[in-house]
A and B are shown apart, each in its own frame.
Chain A
């Protein structure tokens, strides 16, 4: 039973356009969410976080939106760059304890 889902295994976007990566969760106790970026054979790199008291958090080109009623969050990357090509994981936790990771979405930004 997947508590955190990323239903798009892959996504291709043209350079300069917006990338939107989606994540859905089932556990209503989750109140803290993270997005990570991972290159092959490397450890994940923290990107951005959001807690359930907010519905939006922005950091440079990265913005995360949280819709608690829909149990849905999304990561927007604007503008997308070729260096953004990687696998993106969302992760969720209840109270900042152990995080549950989604299966990841592979983003390809085409020049």
Chain B
């Protein structure tokens, strides 16, 4: 099946620093990658959608200058949280969708998530 990895799985950083989270599709080419954020006991909130080689599309209320997304290749997308603050502490999850038409056309495969704690 489709495997998506994230690195790191857990990161603690100081307020004001930047953190980069990587999302990789290991056995398929991900034309589209999604970044989600989940607060405790809440649903997944879509932050942005990125297509390989183009700028990410951010959801309303998500600061694009704070959450920098780069989808440089068909297997890698990165999310950089710039000038992190304690309120950015959350669980960040990426997902990837393969090239259509495939059996994965409409299915998103999720990474294991990254727990960010900003102190």
What residues of chain A have their CB less than 8 Å away from a CB belonging to chain B?
32, 34, 36, 41-46, 49, 51, 89, 93, 96, 98-99, 101-104
Contacts and interface: CB of A to CB of B under 8 A. Distances in A.
15 contacts: A34-B106, A34-B107, A41-B91, A41-B113, A42-B113, A43-B6, A43-B113, A44-B93, A45-B110, A46-B107, A46-B109, A46-B110, A98-B34, A98-B49, A103-B43
Interface of B: 4, 6, 34, 42-44, 46, 49, 91, 93, 95, 105-113, 115
A89 B106 contact: no
Nearest to A102: B43
A36 B36 CA distance: 14
A28 B113 CA distance: 31
B106 A43 contact: no
A35 B76 CA distance: 25
Nearest to B57: A98
Contacts of B105: 96
A36 B106 contact: no
Nearest to B110: A43
A79 to B, nearest CB: 24
B43 A93 contact: no
B43 A42 contact: no
B37 to A, nearest CB: 12
Contact of A49 (B46, B93, B107, B113): B107
B106 A96 contact: yes
A75 to B, nearest CB: 16
B103 to A, nearest CB: 11
